[in-house]
């Protein structure tokens, strides 16, 4: 039951944070807030995964669930990314949609790597 509560609490924090950031108006009309949200979430999940791997006793299971499944799951958003990409396509902005999709995937995978490298730099190997 504690695991479920940790995931739920993390999901609440992540979703409310994403909602708040989504209120930021952008003049460009590009889905940059979603890209930023997904990039930050990718760095966080990479760091948490690596920290849990390097120092499994330092991060309790419930903390990992709160951060990885709850916070990152509630904060990042593949469905919004997909919707925004389709809306760009439907608006005839094929090149922008392609660039957005490519940038999202490349930057977010790089973000996970950056998070893992950050955790390695900050935590001694067990």
Residue 116 is part of which domain span? 2-122
pTM, entire model: 0.92
- The predicted model gives 28-50 an average pLDDT of 94
Output the CA torsion sign for 36, 79, 46, 58.
positive
Q: Which residues are annotated as a binding site?
A: 73, 76
- The predicted model gives 100-116 an average pLDDT of 98
Domain count, the chain: 1
Angle in degrees, 0-180, between the axes of helices 94-122 and 78-90, rounded to the nearest 10:
160
User: Is the separation of the CB atoms in 51 and 61 below 8 Å?
Assistant: no
**How does the average pLDDT of the chain come out, rounded?**
94
Residues 6+ apart with CB under 8 A from 16: 74
pLDDT digits (tens, 9 = 90+) for 47-106: 999 999 998 888 899 999 999 999 999 999 999 999 999 999 999 999 999 999 999 999
- Cα–Cα distance between 120 and 104 in angstroms, integer? 24
Q: Which residues are annotated as a binding site for Na(+)?
A: 73, 76
């Amino acid at each position: 039951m504690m695991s479920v509560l940790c995931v739920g609490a993390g999901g609440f924090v992540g979703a409310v944070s994403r909602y708040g950031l989504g209120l930021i108006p952008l003049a460009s009309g590009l889905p940059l807030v979603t890209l930023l949200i997904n990039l930050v979430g990718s760095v966080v999940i990479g760091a948490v995964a690596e920290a849990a791997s390097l120092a499994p006793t330092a991060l309790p299971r419930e903390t990992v669930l709160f951060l990885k499944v709850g916070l990152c799951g509630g904060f990042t958003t593949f469905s919004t990314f997909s919707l925004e990409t389709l809306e760009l396509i439907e608006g005839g902005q094929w090149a922008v949609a392609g660039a957005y999709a490519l940038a999202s995937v490349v930057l977010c995978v790089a973000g996970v790597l950056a998070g893992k490298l950050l955790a390695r730099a900050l935590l001694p190997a067990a």
